Amino acid sequence: MDFSKISYRSTLGRLIRLPLRLLPKGTVLPIMQGSLRGKKWIVGAGEHGYWLGSYELQKRLAFEREITPGMVVYDIGANVGFYSLLAAHLTGPEGKVYAFEPVSRNVEYIRRHIALNGCENVQVLEAAVAQQSGEAFFDLGASIATGHLSQTGTVKVRQVCLDELLAEGEILPPDTIKIDVEGAEFAVVQGAKRLIEVHRPLIFLDTHGREAHTATLGFLREYGYQFEALDGRPLAEAKDLLARPPVE
CATH number at residue 210: 3.40.50.150
pLDDT confidence of residue 18:
56
The answer to which of 49-58, 86-95, 103-112 has the lowest mean pLDDT is 49-58
Evaluate whether 62 touches 242 at the Cβ level (below 8 Å).
Answer: yes
What total number of domains does the chain contain?
Answer: 1
CA distance 161 to 117: 29
Indicate whether 123 pLDDT > 90. yes
Share of the chain above pLDDT 90, in %: 66
Indicate whether 126 pLDDT > 90. yes
For residues 125-145, average pLDDT: 80
Number of H helices, E strands in the chain: 9, 13
What pLDDT digit, counting tens, does each position of 151-192 carry?
666 788 889 999 999 999 999 999 999 999 988 899 999 999
Evaluate whether 87 touches 61 at the Cβ level (below 8 Å).
Answer: no
Residue 82 within any structural domain of the chain: yes
Looking at every residue in the chain, the average pLDDT score rounds to 88
For residues 95-99, average pLDDT: 98
CA distance 77 to 84: 10
pLDDT band at residue 143 using 50, 70 and 90 as cut-offs: low
Indicate whether 120 pLDDT > 90. yes
What pLDDT digit, counting tens, does each position of 11-28 carry?
544 555 556 666 888 999
The answer to which of 53-57, 160-164, 239-243 has the lowest mean pLDDT is 53-57
For residues 123-128, average pLDDT: 96
For residues 210-235, average pLDDT: 94
pLDDT band at residue 7 using 50, 70 and 90 as cut-offs: very low
pLDDT confidence of residue 150:
66
Residue 35 within any structural domain of the chain: no
The answer to which of 50-54, 60-64, 176-180 has the lowest mean pLDDT is 50-54
Strand order, beta sheet including 226-229? 122-125, 96-100, 72-76, 176-180, 202-206, 240-244, 226-229
For residues 38-45, average pLDDT: 94
pLDDT confidence of residue 208:
86
| Cβ atoms within 10 Å of 86's Cβ, excluding its own | 23
Residue 136 within any structural domain of the chain: yes
Exposure on the CB side of residue 61, measured as CA atoms within 13 A: 8
Residue 197 within any structural domain of the chain: yes
Residue 39 within any structural domain of the chain: no
Please enumerate in sequence order all residues whose Cβ is within 8 A of that of 115, keeping only pairs 6 or more positions apart, or say none: none
Residue 27 within any structural domain of the chain: no
| Cβ atoms within 10 Å of 14's Cβ, excluding its own | 12
Strands (DSSP E) found in the chain? 28-30, 40-42, 72-76, 96-100, 122-125, 128-129, 134-139, 148-149, 155-160, 176-180, 202-206, 226-229, 240-244
Domain that holds residue 71: 56-244
Residue 91 within any structural domain of the chain: yes
pLDDT band at residue 31 using 50, 70 and 90 as cut-offs: very high
pLDDT confidence of residue 149:
66
Residue 152 within any structural domain of the chain: yes
